[in-house]
Amino acid sequence: MKPYLFLLTTITHKTTISHESLSGLDLIKTLIPVLLFFAGILFNRLLERIRERKRLNDLEEYFITVCQLVNNAANRQVKAILETAKVIKQFKAKNFMIPQVPAFNLDEILAISKTDLYKIFVRNRNGKPIDNIQKFHNLINCIHFYHSAIKTIARTDDETLKIVSSFREKWNSSLSLAMNEINHMILKAEIDNIKPGQDSFLDEIQTIIRARKAKSVTLQQEDTIDNIHNEFVLPILRILLSHKNERSIKLLPFYTNMNSEFVNLQKFRASKSSYLANTARSLQHVRMDLKKILNTYKDVKRKSQLI
């Protein structure tokens, strides 16, 4: 080979290698930003998943803690309802209202998204999906029952207040009208100069009235409705039924009304007492169910942490 041809071939070969090296570097320089871009996307997604996992873990811990606090409060609410059911039959108890435990409140629980709860207790949970769904369904049912019970207690108190207020209004009205009529009869007897023993009807009524007044002064306490009914209304009602005259006919509607209202109040008290006892039993049953569900979730969480 001629020298000048060898030199030309060598130069051409070196130039080709140089161009190839330069092309490879350019490619790497071009790919680096792209790779960094996709790496950034993957990193951000990974970071997002880590943050979301932490958020759901924190939310789960918060939710279970709040549920446990509400469940403890539900136990106190059950006791309060049972106590009300017990004393409501006693006529000396004037307060028909159910004491509401402030901590028995679902505001914090209801503020949590059900979608997040589904992620926590169904989608991101170990175990069979159907089992997780059923357990989650039972959990939500417990919360719904509590929510319904709280509203029912408030509604029952409103209804009770209306019924008791209506009873007292009718009772007091009949009692006031009856006493006014009796006082008018006594005054008329005095004006007519009718002496004791001359009017058996009025004598019997006044005997009942004096006995009631004397007992009230001796006991130095306010009469309960059952005492007034048993020691005043019923005895006078018997007198009115045994004496058929114009005065008894005039008084009879007042005492008949008071007796009817008293019987209705007795029925209402018995019905409300039974209703409250049943409500308390239902609450207690749901409270135990929720406690079991929360305990299983805590156990599963501890196992997953060990793994």
Domain ranges of the chain: 3-306
Question: What would the DSSP string read from start to end of 9-72?
Answer: HHHHHHHHHHHHHHHHHHHHHHHHHHHHHHHHHHHHHHHHHHHHHHHHHHHHHHHHHHHHHHHH
Q: Count Cβ neighbours within 10 Å for each residue of 124-157 and write b for 16 or more, e otherwise.
A: ebeeeeeebeebbeebeebbebbeebbeebeebe
Q: Is 33 exposed, middle or buried (0-12, 13-18, 19+ CB in 10 A)?
A: exposed
* Claim: this prediction has a pTM higher than 0.85: no
Q: 67, 109 in Cβ contact below 8 A?
A: yes
Q: 115, 134 in Cβ contact below 8 A?
A: no
What's the CATH number for 3-306? 1.20.58
Cα within 13 Å of Cα(49), Cβ side? 7
For the chain, what percentages of helix, strand and coil (3-state, to nearest 5) are there? 85, 0, 15
| CA-wise closest residue to 229 among 208, 248, 210, 214 | 208
What is the distance between the terminal CA atoms of the chain, rounded to a whole angstrom? 75
Per-residue tens of pLDDT for the chain, all 307 residues = 544 444 444 444 444 544 555 466 776 767 677 666 666 777 667 778 888 889 999 999 999 999 999 999 999 999 999 998 888 877 766 677 888 899 999 999 999 999 999 999 998 888 888 999 999 999 999 999 999 999 988 888 888 888 888 988 999 999 999 999 999 999 999 999 998 899 999 999 999 999 888 776 655 556 678 888 999 999 999 999 999 899 999 999 999 999 999 999 889 889 989 999 999 999 999 999 999 999 988 766 444 443 3
d(CA 281, CA 285): 6
| CA-wise closest residue to 69 among 100, 99, 98, 109 | 109
Q: 225, 265 in Cβ contact below 8 A?
A: yes
In the block, residue with structure tokens 């409060």: 73
